[in-house]
């Protein structure tokens, strides 16, 4: 017999009291750990209300499958009101990230062809490969300059530049030059704005941005300034390409990039293209760079595994005879390492959908329209889901054991991450080049954990040492 919605365990009766307790626990930064604790207290399903934000939370892969089967034709995730409020405030169009319904679908279908289809991925490989080579050359230079035959540093700023250079080269078909000695202050400002934008978003998940705006709160003003910086830099890049395209009359040359392809295709309005390309540019920086930083950290902690990966890359290089695309098909362990990183250190603490239809999960009835969250961070660390979850073990993704709804770092289905193929290719090529050139080591005795700033970030600097092979 199915139990009613109101009997789901959890604290959902008084949002304001819960918000106060959440704040006392420093919940704005501990969301992932609080979710984990809630699953320990309440079991595999609980209901929650913090401030105005109400949801049902689940953790099992089998329940995730039920959730995604009920996402409907127009899957809708949690509305991040801070992001829509900014666009409404500045009168800017929503891109694919923020659109919903038929408007989302029609845009997404066209973007899929230019951003995520296997056909275009081939075009990205040479562009991203070049950025990877330049990154390695830059590290070699830093090592030379150090005079110690090694370089010890917090790589995060370097990785932000690598990620922005990578995503820009794919979007605009040309290089920004961020890996040169001179760094354009505008590009650095863009990077800083993205970090600030994420950081200022998290309190506004629980306190309505409209209210914060009315009282002139600092967090809202900082958020607006951050998006202003993001949009002005993206506008500059987009305008540049637009102008070039109108002047260019010559025969079509090599692959021109995502933006030019969309403009020439002429199926989306220029305003729609601008909105989504801006989101792609902003979404392409902290996500991949932090995932790569965590991966290097794990490889530094597991030297034997690092050698195994190096051997796989060397063999793939030899067998593919200079064909990079071919090489990417021969590195299953490198791909497993990236999955393993996203299992233990997911960018997104949860996946969410508003239900399109009623469902039953854990024998509870959940009505259509409810916001259901899959606790991705909690699932990745659950011993009932992953054998010895605390161990970083890329080979677990090779075995034939079931991976059913277990690899969800990029989300699922038609609403999954639009940047997924770019991100995967960019990260795989990065690891290939790094493994071919350097040994990664770390300081002893530093345990790094996650902190929530909308996306999950390392809670302290990760200091690594790179040594030429
Ligand atoms: C959406 C993760 C990199 C652009 C998402 C979602 C997740 C995610 C979990 C929500 C999916 C869902 O609700 O099912 C990641 C991870 C990344 C990454 C783990 C890298 C390690 C990128 C990059 C870009 C990007 C590089 C841009 C080039 C987007 C966009 C959406 C999205 C535009 C919204 C798609 C839509 O609503 O239709 N990402 N992402 N992401 N991501 Fe990523
Ligand atoms: C944050 O409780 C925690 O990929 C909330 O590239 C629920 C939630 C909703 C939407 C998620 C967000 C979380 C984390 C960051 C995500 C976002 C959807 C897209 C975004 C996962 C889990 C991200 C990082 C995009 C960002 C693109 C943007 C900067 C233009």
Question: What whole-number distance in Å separates Cα of residue 253 and Cα of residue 6?
Answer: 62
CB of residue 187 inside a 6 A radius of ligand 1: no
| CB 226 within 8 Å of CB 194 | yes
CB of residue 75 inside a 6 A radius of ligand 1: no
Question: What whole-number distance in Å separates Cα of residue 168 and Cα of residue 61?
Answer: 35
> Closest ligand 1 atom, CA of 423?
26
CB of residue 96 inside a 6 A radius of ligand 1: yes
Question: What whole-number distance in Å separates Cα of residue 34 and Cα of residue 25?
Answer: 9
Can you give the pLDDT at residue 252? 67
Among the bound ligands, name the one nearest to the CA of residue 167: 1
Distances, alpha carbon 2 to alpha carbons 5, 57, 71, 316, 373, in Å:
9, 18, 21, 53, 20
CB of residue 411 inside a 6 A radius of ligand 1: yes
Please tell me the distance between residue 178's alpha carbon and the centre of ligand 2 in angstroms.
Answer: 25
Sorted by sequence, the CB contacts under 8 Å of residue 149 that are 6+ apart come out as: 143, 467, 468
Q: What is the DSSP string of 306-338?
A: HHHHHHHHHHHHHHHTT-HHHHGGG-HHHHHHH
Question: What whole-number distance in Å separates Cα of residue 43 and Cα of residue 39?
Answer: 5
Q: What is the DSSP string of 92-137?
A: ----TTT--HHHHHHHHHHHHHHHTSHHHHHHHHHHHHHHHHHHHH
Can you give the pLDDT at residue 11? 85
Residue carrying the six token digits 């009932």: 384
Can you give the pLDDT at residue 415? 98
Per-residue pLDDT of the chain (469 residues; tens, 9 = 90+): 899 999 999 987 778 888 888 787 777 899 999 999 999 999 999 999 988 889 999 999 999 999 999 999 999 999 999 999 999 999 999 999 999 999 999 999 999 999 999 999 999 999 999 999 999 999 999 999 999 999 999 999 999 999 999 999 999 999 999 999 888 899 999 999 999 999 999 999 989 999 999 999 999 999 999 999 999 999 999 999 999 988 876 666 789 999 999 999 999 999 999 999 999 999 999 999 999 999 999 999 999 999 999 999 999 999 999 999 999 999 999 999 999 999 999 999 999 999 999 999 999 999 999 999 999 999 999 999 999 999 999 999 997 778 999 999 999 999 999 999 999 999 999 999 999 999 999 988 888 999 999 999 999 999 999 999 9
Who lines ligand 2 at CB under 6 A? 77-78, 80, 97, 205, 279, 282-283, 287, 347-350, 352, 417, 454-455
Give ipTM to 2 decimals. Answer: 0.99
Question: What whole-number distance in Å separates Cα of residue 449 and Cα of residue 468?
Answer: 28
Can you give the pLDDT at residue 200? 96
Q: Please state at what angle helix 156-172 crosses helix 185-201, rounded to 10 degrees.
A: 100
What is the residue with the minimal CA distance to atom 17 of ligand 2? Answer: 348
Short-list 15, 17, 78, CA closest to 349: 78
Sorted by sequence, the CB contacts under 8 Å of residue 387 that are 6+ apart come out as: 396
CB of residue 423 inside a 6 A radius of ligand 1: yes
Can you give the pLDDT at residue 251? 65
What are the backbone angles phi and psi of residue 50, rounded to the nearest 5°?
Answer: -120, 120
b/e per residue 69-90 (b: at least 16 CB within 10 A): ebbeebbbbeebbbbebbbeee
What is the three-class DSSP state of 457?
Answer: strand
Please tell me the distance between residue 226's alpha carbon and the centre of ligand 2 in angstroms.
Answer: 16
């Amino acid at each position: 017999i199915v139990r009613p919605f109101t009997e789901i365990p959890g604290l959902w009766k008084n949002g304001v009291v819960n918000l106060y307790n959440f704040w006392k626990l420093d919940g704005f930064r501990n969301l992932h750990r609080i979710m984990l604790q809630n699953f320990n207290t309440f079991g595999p399903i609980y209901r929650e209300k913090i401030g105005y934000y109400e949801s049902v939370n689940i953790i099992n892969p089998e329940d995730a499958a039920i959730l995604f089967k009920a996402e409907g034709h127009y899957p809708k995730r949690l509305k991040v009101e801070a992001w829509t409020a900014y666009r409404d405030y500045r009168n800017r169009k929503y891109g694919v990230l923020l659109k919903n319904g038929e408007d989302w679908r029609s845009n997404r279908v066209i973007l899929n062809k230019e951003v995520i289809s296997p056909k275009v991925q081939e075009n990205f490989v040479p562009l991203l490969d070049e950025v990877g080579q330049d990154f390695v050359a830059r590290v070699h230079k830093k090592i030379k300059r150090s005079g110690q035959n090694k370089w010890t540093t917090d790589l995060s700023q370097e990785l932000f530049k690598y990620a922005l250079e990578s995503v820009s080269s794919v979007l605009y078909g040309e290089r920004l030059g961020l890996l040169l000695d001179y760094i354009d202050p505008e590009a650095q400002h863009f990077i800083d704005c993205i970090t600030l934008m994420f950081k200022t978003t998290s309190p506004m998940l629980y306190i309505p941005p409209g209210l914060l705006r009315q009282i002139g709160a600092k967090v809202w003003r900082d958020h607006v300034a951050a998006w202003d910086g993001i949009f002005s830099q993206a506008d500059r890049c987009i305008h540049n390409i637009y102008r070039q395209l109108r002047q260019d009359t010559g025969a079509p040359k090599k692959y021109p990039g995502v933006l030019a392809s969309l403009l020439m295709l002429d199926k989306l309005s220029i305003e729609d293209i601008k909105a989504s390309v801006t989101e792609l540019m902003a979404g392409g920086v902290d996500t991949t760079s932090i995932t790569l930083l965590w991966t290097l950290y794990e490889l530094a902690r597991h030297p034997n595994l690092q050698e195994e990966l190096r051997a796989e890359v060397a063999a793939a290089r030899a067998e593919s005879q200079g064909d990079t695309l071919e090489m990417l098909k021969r590195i299953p362990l490198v791909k497993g390492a990236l999955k393993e990183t996203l299992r233990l250190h997911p960018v997104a603490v949860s996946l969410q959908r508003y239900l399109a239809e009623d469902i039953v999960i854990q024998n509870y009835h959940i009505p259509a329209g409810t916001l259901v969250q899959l606790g991705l961070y909690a699932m990745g660390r659950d011993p009932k889901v992953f054998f010895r979850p605390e161990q970083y073990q890329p080979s677990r993704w090779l075995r034939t054991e079931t991976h059913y709804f277990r690899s969800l770092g990029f989300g699922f289905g038609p609403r999954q991450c639009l940047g997924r193929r770019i991100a995967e290719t960019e990260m795989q090529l990065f690891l290939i080049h790094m493994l071919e050139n350097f040994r990664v080591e770390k300081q002893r005795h530093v345990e790094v954990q996650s902190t929530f700033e909308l996306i999950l970030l390392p809670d302290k600097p990760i200091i690594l040492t790179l040594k030429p092979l």
